[in-house]
Chains A and B, each alone.
Chain A
């Protein structure tokens, strides 16, 4: 039979276990990640930078271990006789973070994972191609020599295949149910030669944020969307990845959120 002290101890233990287990992605995957770094040709000196902080430096081929985060990592590779190769790798949502959902009533698990960045993961393989000096046209400068995602056969050259105007709405939902403070965003994107630029206009701020998305020949997209989320027009830059599906651009925002941008029909003159 439980006395009062035992009952209190049991309750405290249960709470602690719940807190620990609620941070599923952190527990299951840890706060760091190892990434294989490859380049064509081998022997490139690569630097990984996130938010101005240098995370790692290695000569390819190499494996580097970096901390997880929702923010993108800029990879810059150099080699004598070759032009600089660059890419930005965006974080994807960690599958283990999904297990937070059933016990997220305490909001502790998601909070721990967000704080540690463990709810996000980077691609396990980064490949960067460097062109021999003088082999690429001077203008326009193109990041087409970079393969940002893991698929070994993916041709990542930018393409005009998906050029056009895209638009869609994204609603940032209120945290508390029963009361609303939803912010509605209109996202407009114009893609030319695989490079998309546009605006994200919120109901809270009259000055829109910038949208920059790159779409490769396979329809894979990555980039950044600046959501001006409040009346102070504070920048809220979100990494995004996605792909073209049935002509529309489906994007996943980090750390959470999805938006579909519908391609406008071309109008005849």
Chain B
């Protein structure tokens, strides 16, 4: 059973602190009966929401950036990692099943964009988004952990996510923040 925890405390504290933190971590929800550590993990990425325009998509962290940051953050824990970008894949189920057969992971970590905030009028821009990570035990096909990392209001955070005229730019800082935040959540819950 997934334990539900209060999720308001962290973001509330951040807000009260004057939005000084560009990234908000929410406590994870762990299956209390799951006692294994992450060992061999297939990370599946679904980062592009079908409702996003290309310009809006430019502010979101890129799969390659996340792959590098996660590999660096999890290397000290001895985790074998394979990252699969599922955006734009025509047969997600088959590609995932093939990767499971090839890589034989013990866990799948599915990272998806769970929410994004629009701002502006005629041309709406994205002013913050939330990535949700769900970890599945492959043997039992059960969800054993979920957690979220939120990139808060860009306008208040002081970090630029897009170049001139909405062009894409590097999001390595976001990728590192995500990987560090996720690692911290997983350590807290005993999965690392």
Using a CB–CB cutoff of 8 Å, the interface residues on chain A facing chain B are 167, 169, 171, 173-174, 178-182, 184, 186, 188, 199, 201, 203-208, 231-233
Asked whether B113 is an interface residue with its Cβ less than 8 Å from the other chain, the reply is yes
Contacts of B110 in A (CB 8 A): 204-206, 231
Is there contact, CB below 8 Å, between B51 and A180?
yes
Asked whether B26 is an interface residue with its Cβ less than 8 Å from the other chain, the reply is no
Is there contact, CB below 8 Å, between A206 and B2?
no
Asked whether B86 is an interface residue with its Cβ less than 8 Å from the other chain, the reply is yes
Asked whether B161 is an interface residue with its Cβ less than 8 Å from the other chain, the reply is no
Contacts of A232 in B (CB 8 A): 2, 134, 143, 146
Contacts of B115 in A (CB 8 A): 174, 179-181
Is there contact, CB below 8 Å, between B50 and A182?
yes
Contact of B114 among A171, A181, A184 (CB under 8 A): A181
The 7 closest A-B pairs by CB, nearest first: A231-B134, A201-B93, A203-B46, A208-B93, A201-B92, A184-B50, A232-B143
Q: Give the residues from 125 to 174 in chain B that come closer than 8 angstroms, CB to CB, to chain A.
A: 132, 134, 136, 141, 143, 146
Contacts of B2 in A (CB 8 A): 232
Looking at the assembled complex, report how far the CB atom of A164 sits from the nearest CB atom of chain B, in whole angstroms: 16
29 examples of A-B residue contacts, CB within 8 angstroms? A167-B91, A169-B50, A171-B51, A173-B51, A179-B118, A180-B51, A180-B113, A181-B114, A181-B115, A182-B51, A184-B46, A186-B90, A186-B91, A186-B92, A188-B91, A199-B93, A201-B93, A203-B92, A206-B44, A206-B96, A206-B108, A206-B136, A207-B136, A231-B112, A231-B134, A231-B143, A232-B146, A233-B141, A233-B143
Contact of A204 among B52, B108, B134 (CB under 8 A): B134
Contacts of A188 in B (CB 8 A): 91, 93
Bound: A171/B46 CA distance, A = 14
Chain B 93-117: CB-based contact to A (< 8 A → 1; otherwise 0): 1001000000000001010111111
Contacts of A181 in B (CB 8 A): 114-115
Asked whether B54 is an interface residue with its Cβ less than 8 Å from the other chain, the reply is no
Contacts of B50 in A (CB 8 A): 169, 171, 182, 184
Chain B 65-105: CB-based contact to A (< 8 A → 1; otherwise 0): 00000000000000000000010001111001000000000
User: Which residue, A184, A201, A231, has most C-beta atoms of chain B within 10 A?
Assistant: A231
Interface residues of A: mostly helix, strand, loop or mixed? Answer: loop
Looking at the assembled complex, report how far the CB atom of B71 sits from the nearest CB atom of chain A, in whole angstroms: 20
Looking at the assembled complex, report how far the CB atom of B87 sits from the nearest CB atom of chain A, in whole angstroms: 9
Bound: A125/B132 CA distance, A = 47
Contact of A203 among B86, B108, B136 (CB under 8 A): B86
Looking at the assembled complex, report how far the CB atom of B139 sits from the nearest CB atom of chain A, in whole angstroms: 12
Bound: A203/B146 CA distance, A = 15
Name the residue on B nearest A209 (C-beta): B93
Contacts of A171 in B (CB 8 A): 50-51
Bound: A47/B100 CA distance, A = 44
Bound: A88/B92 CA distance, A = 30
Contact of B116 among A180, A184, A199 (CB under 8 A): A180
Is there contact, CB below 8 Å, between B132 and A231?
yes
Contacts of A173 in B (CB 8 A): 51
Looking at the assembled complex, report how far the CB atom of B144 sits from the nearest CB atom of chain A, in whole angstroms: 10
Is there contact, CB below 8 Å, between A204 and B44?
no
Bound: A231/B146 CA distance, A = 8
Name the residue on A nearest B146 (C-beta): A231
Bound: A204/B146 CA distance, A = 11
Bound: A208/B96 CA distance, A = 10
Contacts of B49 in A (CB 8 A): 180, 182, 184
Bound: A174/B146 CA distance, A = 20
Name the residue on B nearest A177 (C-beta): B118
Looking at the assembled complex, report how far the CB atom of A200 sits from the nearest CB atom of chain B, in whole angstroms: 8
Bound: A188/B92 CA distance, A = 10
Is there contact, CB below 8 Å, between B141 and A207?
yes
Contacts of B51 in A (CB 8 A): 171, 173-174, 180, 182
Q: Other than the known A181-B114, A203-B46, what 8 A-B pairs have Cβ atoms closer than 8 Å?
A: A179-B118, A180-B49, A182-B51, A201-B92, A208-B92, A231-B110, A231-B146, A233-B136
Contacts of A231 in B (CB 8 A): 110, 112, 132, 134, 143, 146
